[in-house]
């Protein structure tokens, strides 16, 4: 029995953050030391990001607010709202992103309708409310009220993998199950000005995004590219617990993202992959680059750099991760879904188009290019190795197969 991701949709909010402009705003904040100013410029310039998207409309220079909570565009001052103020905005902005992205994923899953959904899994680590997004998805999409609902909260950047693994487990247990996974991360709600290196690094990287997918083992015609979910593994590195964390403070959620994280990943990525690849003897002894596609969570440029060098991956194999980082930044758990969308050949490589009030929809037929500017060969079935990293330091990995109609 094959469990397939039958559809995959992504979206971003409507406010565009251009990296040079964001850098200059952060560097100009009152209270920054000279060292803090240098760190801002270094982190923002080294991030390999051109644009990010935010659910905070106040961050747009074109939309001045006379009573701002997050950003006073008249003075260029970043404000420091309470955790409640930040979370209230999460409730308002995350809800339509959850429901509309999930609706689009359901519409894109040929042969599946709202009445077929048996499970809903929602994911976020950037806000809380209850009745939560799982409830809103069921109500707003008109799903059966008996749908089983699950919310994965506060896990961090790797949380898409537990969600997909849960979906596979439900489908393995019941071949008729249809699982709707929806992910929304609004990281920009928690940015702040600081001289702390971890806070500066997070401000230079994190952004907002959403993704949704329909997963099922039902025997349906393949009408669009799909992913079979073959195997998952989880591991904890023996060091690094203190280098990546996500805590709740009085003025928002506080990111700990140490500069040593890429080195820890460099030291331990091959060991983390070993249990996954051991599931298939044909892969275990081969060079990593023999696997056609690599969906690497671009937690930062240096993380992708280290993974690529350690595993001997080509420019074409890392292009989906680098391109996602450049165009969207690090959207926490949603990010790897954007990378998978590119590997499937469903996402655009040159920006997003507006769609309704829920944000920016991504569709089209763009995909990663190799070093010669040519599309990689497309065959009926190609392997995908995916990975993401989060607090702990946790490494989540997955083997998938890209299937074409």
Can you tell me the distance from the alpha carbon of 308 to that of 314, in angstroms, rounded to the nearest whole number? Answer: 7
Whole-number percent of the chain with pLDDT over 90: 81
Choice between 145 and 351, residue whose per-residue pLDDT is larger: 145
Can you tell me the distance from the alpha carbon of 376 to that of 378, in angstroms, rounded to the nearest whole number? Answer: 6
Q: Can you say whether the dihedral through the CA atoms of 252, 265, 205, 342 is positive or negative?
A: negative
Q: Which of 57-71, 123-137, 372-386 has the highest mean pLDDT?
A: 123-137
Mean pLDDT, residues 353-360 taken together: 45
Point out which residues pair with 248 in neighbouring strands.
253
Residue 317 banded pLDDT, cuts 50, 70, 90 = very high
Whether the per-residue pLDDT at 226 is higher than 90: the answer is yes
Can you tell me the distance from the alpha carbon of 401 to that of 50, in angstroms, rounded to the nearest whole number? Answer: 31
Residue 371 banded pLDDT, cuts 50, 70, 90 = very low
Whether the per-residue pLDDT at 388 is higher than 90: the answer is yes
Mean pLDDT, residues 227-237 taken together: 97
Residue 60 banded pLDDT, cuts 50, 70, 90 = confident
Lowest mean pLDDT among 73-82, 117-126, 378-387: 378-387
Can you tell me the distance from the alpha carbon of 393 to that of 161, in angstroms, rounded to the nearest whole number? Answer: 15
Mean pLDDT, residues 87-108 taken together: 98
Lowest mean pLDDT among 21-35, 285-299, 316-330, 343-357: 343-357
Whether the per-residue pLDDT at 365 is higher than 50: the answer is no
Mean pLDDT, residues 257-266 taken together: 85
Whether the per-residue pLDDT at 376 is higher than 50: the answer is no
Mean pLDDT, residues 227-245 taken together: 91
Can you tell me the distance from the alpha carbon of 326 to that of 294, in angstroms, rounded to the nearest whole number? Answer: 17
pLDDT of residue 360: 58
Q: Which helix (H) or strand (E) holds 8?
A: strand 4-12
- Cβ atoms < 10 Å from Cβ of 245: 17
Lowest mean pLDDT among 40-49, 58-67, 147-156: 58-67
Taking only the tens place, the pLDDT of each residue in 64-74 is 667 899 999 98
Q: Which of 12-16, 71-75, 361-365 has the highest mean pLDDT?
A: 12-16
Contact status, residue 378 vs residue 370, Cβ threshold 8 Å: no
Mean pLDDT, residues 103-121 taken together: 98
Whether the per-residue pLDDT at 366 is higher than 80: the answer is no
pLDDT of residue 349: 38
Closest-CA residue to 167 (of 398, 402, 346) = 398
Encoded tokens for 347: 């996402």
Please identify which residue in the block is written with the tokens 């696997």: 291
Q: What integer best gives the mean pLDDT of the chain?
A: 91
Contacts with 312 (C-beta within 8 Å, 6 or more apart), sequence order: 287, 288, 289
Whether the per-residue pLDDT at 356 is higher than 70: the answer is no
Whether the per-residue pLDDT at 239 is higher than 60: the answer is yes
pLDDT of residue 141: 98
Whether the per-residue pLDDT at 136 is higher than 80: the answer is yes
pLDDT of residue 347: 57
Mean pLDDT, residues 126-133 taken together: 96
Chain center to CA of 325: 10
Q: Which helix (H) or strand (E) holds 271?
A: helix 261-277
Whether the per-residue pLDDT at 204 is higher than 90: the answer is yes
pLDDT of residue 244: 81
Lowest mean pLDDT among 190-199, 201-210, 347-356: 347-356
Mean pLDDT, residues 229-245 taken together: 90
Whether the per-residue pLDDT at 187 is higher than 90: the answer is yes
pLDDT of residue 375: 39
Whole-number percent of the chain with pLDDT over 70: 91
Whether the per-residue pLDDT at 369 is higher than 50: the answer is no
Whether the per-residue pLDDT at 173 is higher than 90: the answer is yes
């Amino acid at each position: 029995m094959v469990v397939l991701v039958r559809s995959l949709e992504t979206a971003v909010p409507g406010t565009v953050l251009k990296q040079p402009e964001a850098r200059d705003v952060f560097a100009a904040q009152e209270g920054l030391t000279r060292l803090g100013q240098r760190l801002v410029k270094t982190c923002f310039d080294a991030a390999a990001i051109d644009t990010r998207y935010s659910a905070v409309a106040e961050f747009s220079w074109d939309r001045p607010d006379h009573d701002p909570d997050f950003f006073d565009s008249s003075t260029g001052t970043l404000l420091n709202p309470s955790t409640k103020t930040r979370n209230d905005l999460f409730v308002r902005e995350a809800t339509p992103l959850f429901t509309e992205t999930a609706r689009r994923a359901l519409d894109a899953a040929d042969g599946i309708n709202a009445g077929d959904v048996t499970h809903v899994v929602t994911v976020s680590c950037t806000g809380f409310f209850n009745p939560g997004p799982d409830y809103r998805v069921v109500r707003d999409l008109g799903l059966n009220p008996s749908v089983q609902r699950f919310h994965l909260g506060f896990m961090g950047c790797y949380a898409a993998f537990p969600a997909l693994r849960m979906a596979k487990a439900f489908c393995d247990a019941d071949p008729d199950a249809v699982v709707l996974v929806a992910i929304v991360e609004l990281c920009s709600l928690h940015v702040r000005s600081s001289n702390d290196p971890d806070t500066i690094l997070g401000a230079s990287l994190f952004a907002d995004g959403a993704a949704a997918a329909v997963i099922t083992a039902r025997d349906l015609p393949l009408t669009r590219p799909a992913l079979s979910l073959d195997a998952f593994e989880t591991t904890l590195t023996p060091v690094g617990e203190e280098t990546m964390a996500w805590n709740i403070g009085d003025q928002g959620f506080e990111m700990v993202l140490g500069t040593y994280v890429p080195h820890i990943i460099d030291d331990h990525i091959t060991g983390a992959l070993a249990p996954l690849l051991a599931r298939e003897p044909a892969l275990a002894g081969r060079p990593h680059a023999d696997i056609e596609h690599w969906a690497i969570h671009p937690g930062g440029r240096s993380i992708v750099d280290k993974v690529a060098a350690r595993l001997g991956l080509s420019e074409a194999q890392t292009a989906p991760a680098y391109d996602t980082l450049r165009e969207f930044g690090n959207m926490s758990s949603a990010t790897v879904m954007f990378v998978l969308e590119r590997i499937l050949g469903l996402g655009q490589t040159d920006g997003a188009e507006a769609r309704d009030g829920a944000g920016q929809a991504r569709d089209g037929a763009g995909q990663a290019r190799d070093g010669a500017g040519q599309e990689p060969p497309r065959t009926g079935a190609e392997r995908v190795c995916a990975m993401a990293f989060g607090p702990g330091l946790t490494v989540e990995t997955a083997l998938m197969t890209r299937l074409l109609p």
